[in-house]
Structure 1
Amino acid sequence: MFPSSLDMGIIFLTQTGIGLVGNSSLLCLYNFTLISGRYLRPTDLILNQLVLANSIVLFSKGIPQTMAAFGWKYFLDDVGCKIIFYFYRLATGVSFSTICLFNGFQAIKLDPSICKWMELKARSLRFIAFCCFICWVPHLLINSCLPVIVSGPLHKKNSSVEENYGYCSWHLSEDLLDSFYTLLYFSPDILSLGFLIWASGSTVLVLHRHKQRVWHIRQQRPSSRPSHEVRATHTILILVSFFVTFYSIYLTLTIWMTLVANQGQWMVNTSVLVASSFPAFSPFVLMLRDTRIALLCSGCGARRAALPDPPSGS
């Protein structure tokens, strides 16, 4: 069982606040590299879209759920609920597709034999931007049905299936509640999850083979710092394991809540916490593994040290 509504509100507020701070910091970093060209990497455009999608998820799900947990039940009308749910599902799907795109580019970069014709294109920012744009198109179309089945807060039960999220409700008629509809609606997420596991496994396998080939060289020149291959492998393993675990649980809970009526509020709270965990905490994984942040911080520290001391007062 979950604690009281006030405690849940504090948990949602803390998670959302931490996530927004982390994603905002990364947005500033990636936009700085894209505009200035300094420390620019081809995948910065992909990661910039990932943190943007994560921010939209937190804004459209974390903030309303926090307000509902603190007792604000009717702060959105019917139109507001449709917009909020549409952006939430859109951003969640784009987050799926973007992290798959990121791992796919990493796999092709490390092993060009996977897709030889994309080896050179994977280094073009224009081609990467086109791929990022493609990530939005299917989710814009798939979620076009949400305004029909999402409405404002429930005041009375008058349909076959009603799920109250505290501030909005989700209605489905009996003829839509079947396995085919559920599989069709969530098939992009399931396919993205499968592709993500394949791409990440391929990347880690290539890095492991490369590490074995150069192992004897590093034995002659031992170093206390981990190699780039080890750092990249750790980043992929942590990020993907984090993503797959939380979004697998989220997909299971969402499908269950779609197919089964009269779910308790604890199920809704669990789904929101799990769905917001990756958008909230993944930026800090990227920060810890990105060496450019340390370079920027050291550069700022060097500039401060080079500034002359202010004159002392008389």
Structure 2
Amino acid sequence: MKKITSEDTLGIFFLSQFGIGFIGNTSLFLLHIKALIFQPHKKKPIVFIRVHLLLANVMTILFSGVPEIIHFFGLRNFMDDIGCKAVLYMYRVSRGLSLCTMSFLSMFQAVIIIPSNSRWAWLKPKISSYIFPAFSFFWVINMLIYIRVIEQVKASYNISGAAQPYSLKYCMGRDPDKMKSAAFLGGMVARDFLCLFIMIWASGYMVVMLFTHRKTVQYVHKTSLNPVSSPETKATRTILALVVCFFFFHWTNSCFTVYVSYRHNVRGLENINIFLSSCYPAICPFLMIQSNIFNLQMYYSPLNV
């Protein structure tokens, strides 16, 4: 009987993580698509943002999980240069899409709960019209940022050991052009900083609004036998949980990626980095399910808010 190695154990672990994340995101994605097809006249604009986030999660899991699982189960050098470029490029783009979409979702929810007497209330009827232009911008900007990956990455067996590895073990590359490398890193840092700033600002605003709302209805809750949170409150709390989860895993994964990229013989850290890269996409749908954010009564309303 063949002895189970540590690589086999890791492969089974990552296969389980991949399966859970893929099934969770795909199921909710299909649920949304079905609802949009059969009840298009009652759709809420925020559903499109959730669909886009789920799509980005599915792409991230596929383009990171499948090659890593194949690698862990012993199939080495299974991709040529073109395959390596395509997989790593789409993986990076999908992670960027997830970041941008999560940022936009938090901002969108913050605008939804703006009081009608606020000076920013004029944004509420207009922000829905920005959804699809925002999606187009997210795709274009992330595809442009990561063009550098296509130029420099090759399959690992086509590069000497002196090259610096990227985050996926089957792909390696070096970037000798310091100017282009600086522009590449600058684009990523600027995007990350802007998106995370928006998430922090929107999250802070939502926390303040939740606290204000709680104080306002405190008497009603005390006198009610069955106090029930509004759909907007539930959605806001869920998005706050998603933001905190995303912020933690994204920055932890980014720090590990930078460290691993400039160090050698850090296989243990590489495996941790692979795990972290798929944590948020795997957890995201279950945070949504647990808080009932996908109840169709919360998706749709005649007001189309």
C-alpha distance in 1 between matches for 2:146 and 2:44 = 32
Change (3 A) 1:273 1:75: same
Matched, 1:86 2:89: yes
C-alpha distance in 1 between matches for 2:23 and 2:190 = 32
Summarize deviations over 1:143-177 as a string: whole Å, max 9, x none.
11111121112366254534584322132227369
TM-score using structure 2 length? 0.86
**Given that residues 24 and 282 in structure 2 are in contact (C-alpha distance below 8 angstroms), is that contact kept between their aligned partners in structure 1?**
yes
- Superposition RMSD on alpha carbons, in Å? 2.6
C-alpha distance in 2 between matches for 1:141 and 1:29 = 31
C-alpha distance in 2 between matches for 1:230 and 1:100 = 18
Identify the structure with bigger relative contact order (alpha carbons < 8 Å, sequence gap 6+). 2
**Which of 232, 237, 250 matches 1:234?**
237
Give the structure 1 partner of residue 34 of structure 2: 32
Equivalent residue letter for 1:20: F
Aligned pairs, how many?
291
Give the structure 1 partner of residue 124 of structure 2: 119
Indicate the SS of the match to 1:76: coil
Give the structure 1 partner of residue 301 of structure 2: none
Q: CA deviation at 1:34?
A: 1.8
Indicate the SS of the match to 1:172: coil
- In structure 1, stretches of 5+ residues that fail to align are 297-314
Give the structure 2 partner of residue 251 of structure 1: 254
C-alpha distance in 2 between matches for 1:162 and 1:89 = 15
The farther-off stretch of 80-89 and 221-230 is 221-230
Give the structure 1 partner of residue 80 of structure 2: 77
Q: CA deviation at 1:208?
A: 1.5
TM-score using structure 1 length? 0.83
Indicate the SS of the match to 1:151: strand
C-alpha distance in 1 between matches for 2:20 and 2:250 = 19
Change (3 A) 1:279 1:67: same
Give the structure 1 partner of residue 22 of structure 2: 20
C-alpha distance in 2 between matches for 1:141 and 1:156 = 25
**Given that residues 109 and 236 in structure 2 are in contact (C-alpha distance below 8 angstroms), is that contact kept between their aligned partners in structure 1?**
no
Matched, 1:154 2:164: no
If you compute each CA radius of gyration, which structure gives the higher value, 1 or 2?
Answer: 1
The farther-off stretch of 282-291 and 69-78 is 282-291
C-alpha distance in 2 between matches for 1:144 and 1:270 = 26
Q: How does 1:118-267 map to 2 (within 5 A)?
A: 118-122=123-127, 124=128, 126-154=129-157, 157=160, 159-163=162-166, 165-173=168-176, 175=178, 182-223=185-226, 225-228=228-231, 230-258=233-261, 260-267=262-269
**Which of 62, 68, 71 matches 1:68?**
71
Matched, 1:100 2:111: no
